[in-house]
Structure 1
Amino acid sequence: MHLLNKNPESFINSLSFLDPDEIAISAEKAGEGNMNAVFRIQTNKRTFIAKQSFPFVRKYPQISAPIERIDTEYQYLKLVEIIPELKSYSPKILGYFPENYLLLLEDFGPGSDFTEYYKQSKQIKDQVIEELIAYLNQLHSLKAPFFPDNMKMRELNHDHIFRFPFDENNGLDLDSILPGLQKASLPFKMDEKLKSRVASLGERYLSKGDTLLHGDFYPGSWISTESGLKVIDPEFGFVGDREFDLGIFVAHLIFSGLNENEALSKLDNYNPSFDSSLTLAFAGVELLRRLIGIAQLPLDLSLKERVELLQLGRKMILA
């Protein structure tokens, strides 16, 4: 397999993709994606995005990851591009080279994700929240009986959401993130009732459901561009319980400054029926794993505020 991050321009020029009179002349990293190598390719005629998966996590090379995740993204984008209400939110597929685990996509141009809203001085606008819920309304209404089960990615995600954060011997030094966080995490890692409920939620995550999910519906996957809101990085997509997507969404609204009731009330415009208790339980797990697991967020929170969110997450899980 040719590696995109070794010599992007040469790699792209070697593919049967560019026009006869077209040549890739430069490449730059497009964002700070955790999972994959992502480059903005500039040719003498246009720009586009090149995305390649490896058998490890780009940001954490010591963590193995299924290389075929790029195919899940391809299958997801193929599905949504035929739905008028969804296609404008996703990049167009320009080319797919499965032998190289390479996907070539439309370039949205300059944009920024929504992780800046973790700063407590900012709040996500209601209009944006309503648009994100409208996206989920449409996505969760799709029928996708032949969508890949994406089990290897789910198993990876399962480990980092439902197991690793609650292992008191996981080796992660939380004090390097914020002094005092290691000690503050111990009551949650030693709470057998909490861990039992989290384990049952993890089993549910790995079970087959009936709803096509994005699988990682949080502010890092939402992009603000000149042409509007976009939703990217569906490589964690699978057919499961809609409450998982909803729970991740609610948890990150809480991280962005809303309280539990305010965050849940934002789902009033979500049309399919859903289990609010299961949604809050998944949200609670997401709160805890983002606070005491590997996948940290750029949170502007004190130790006291983090502990309060840990306690809220426990309450939501055990309710």
Structure 2
Amino acid sequence: MIHLSSDKAILEEYLKEKSFLQAGEIIRSVEIPGEGNMNFTLRIQTAARTFILKQSREYVEKYPQVAAPKERVLREADFYQLISEKPHLKAMMPDILGLDTENSVMILEDLGTGTDYTNLYQQGENIAENELLELIDFATRLHNSFSAASASKAIPNREMRALNHEHMYSYPYLEENGLDLDDILPGLQEASLAYKHNTDLKYEAQKLGEIYLQNGDKLLHGDYFPGSWLKTKSGIRIIDPEFCFFGPAEFEIGVTIAHLLMAEQPEMLIQKALDSYTTKAPLNEGLRKKFTAGEIIRRILGLAQLPLSIDLEKRIALLEKAKNDLLSN
């Protein structure tokens, strides 16, 4: 497997060899398009166009010590190919321009210099109601449009789910996991012990993880949070479905609601988002709350940290609510 770099000459040679560049097309500039975690990603500009190159390696790009399935970009391609059957969904995601399965490289349409929604984690930043409802509508249409039994392509994505499972339902509950939470926020390490020592909580997290690993009926983006939502000149776009799989809708919506809570979005707005979904698609609210709880614990106590502005007291309050929801019958 070739490991690509940002060297223009090497990139040009590779892209010409794979016929991703047209005759006479020369790379003018190369840049990193955004703050990514999982993959090696570049924006490449030629005289005629710009496009995105994404390569998945055998590790997480931001955390090279963390092993990851090197074929994950191919599962993302599976998702794009499947949703291309639905014009409304396809219109909100980038097109695939090329795919190198041997080296796990995908060439994507460049959506432009948009910004994601991670600014919501900063104090006082609220999402516009119409934008949130559009994001919820995308998830609703996605879940309603595909059934595992009838879809033209199966996407089990077992290896990516196994990786995610480890970081959602195991790693945050380990007392010795190599992560000093005080480096993130002083006092958080000591506060975490109440959850890491709670055997009932760890048991419930394990049970929830087993549900996550089961195959389900709905096509899920798999990582539907502000970092996967882009605001562009052409409107809202959705990216990075590499954790996609057929599973329970409660996981997808649970994750989204968790991030809205950690971003301190207005309670009325969060309820409107839930109401918008449930008027068009079924949702087990008890299970949704548990998946919300699992995501909150994972993000506050786990490796995949967010740029949260909330203080220690608010994080503990979120953890307590999450604990109670996970322990509820």
* Same fold, TM-score > 0.5, yes or no: yes
Aligned-residue offset at 1:12: 2.1
Alignment counterpart, residue 43 of structure 2, candidates 35, 40, 43: 40
Q: Give the aligned partner of residue 312 of structure 1.
A: 321
Aligned 8 A contact 1:9 1:27 in 2: no
Uncovered stretches (5+) of structure 1, i.e. residues with no partner? none
C-alpha deviations, 1:222-251, integer Å up to 9, x for none? 011111101100000001111000100110
Aligned 8 A contact 2:165 2:213 in 1: yes
Aligned-residue offset at 1:116: 0.3
Find out whether 1:233 has 2:237 as its counterpart: no
Alignment counterpart, residue 136 of structure 2, candidates 133, 136, 141: 133
One-letter identity of the residue aligned with 1:284: A
1:176-255 correspondence to structure 2 within 5 Å: 176-255=183-262
Aligned 8 A contact 2:222 2:245 in 1: yes
Q: Distance in 1 between matches of 2:237 and 2:6?
A: 28
Alignment counterpart, residue 153 of structure 1, candidates 152, 160, 166: 160
Q: Distance in 1 between matches of 2:15 and 2:29?
A: 10
Is 257-266 or 58-67 further displaced after alignment? Answer: 257-266
Aligned 8 A contact 2:97 2:108 in 1: yes
1:43-54 correspondence to structure 2 within 5 Å: 43-54=46-57
SS of 2:170 mapped into structure 1? helix
C-alpha deviations, 1:12-37, integer Å up to 9, x for none? 23321222232223211111210001
Q: Distance in 2 between matches of 1:196 and 1:264?
A: 29
Q: Distance in 2 between matches of 1:189 and 1:291?
A: 13
TM-score (ref. length: structure 2): 0.94
One-letter identity of the residue aligned with 2:39: N
Q: Give the aligned partner of residue 2 of structure 2.
A: 2
1:265-284 correspondence to structure 2 within 5 Å: 265-270=272-277, 271-284=280-293
Aligned-residue offset at 1:262: 5.2
Q: Give the aligned partner of residue 300 of structure 1.
A: 309
Alignment counterpart, residue 60 of structure 1, candidates 52, 58, 63: 63
Find out whether 1:25 has 2:28 as its counterpart: yes
Find out whether 1:98 has 2:105 as its counterpart: no
SS of 1:258 mapped into structure 2? coil
Q: Distance in 1 between matches of 2:100 and 2:124?
A: 43
SS of 1:108 mapped into structure 2? coil
Aligned 8 A contact 1:9 1:41 in 2: no
Aligned-residue offset at 1:259: 6.1
Q: Distance in 2 between matches of 1:170 and 1:261?
A: 37
C-alpha deviations, 1:244-299, integer Å up to 9, x for none? 00100110111121366752442111111110010011001111110010000000
Uncovered stretches (5+) of structure 2, i.e. residues with no partner? none
C-alpha deviations, 1:15-61, integer Å up to 9, x for none? 21222232223211111210001101111211101101000000000
SS of 1:230 mapped into structure 2? strand
Aligned-residue offset at 1:304: 1.0
Aligned-residue offset at 1:118: 0.6
Identity %: 45
Aligned-residue offset at 1:202: 0.2
Q: Distance in 2 between matches of 1:216 and 1:254?
A: 16
Is 76-85 or 99-108 further displaced after alignment? Answer: 76-85
Q: Distance in 2 between matches of 1:233 and 1:85?
A: 18
TM-score (ref. length: structure 1): 0.96
Aligned-residue offset at 1:4: 2.2
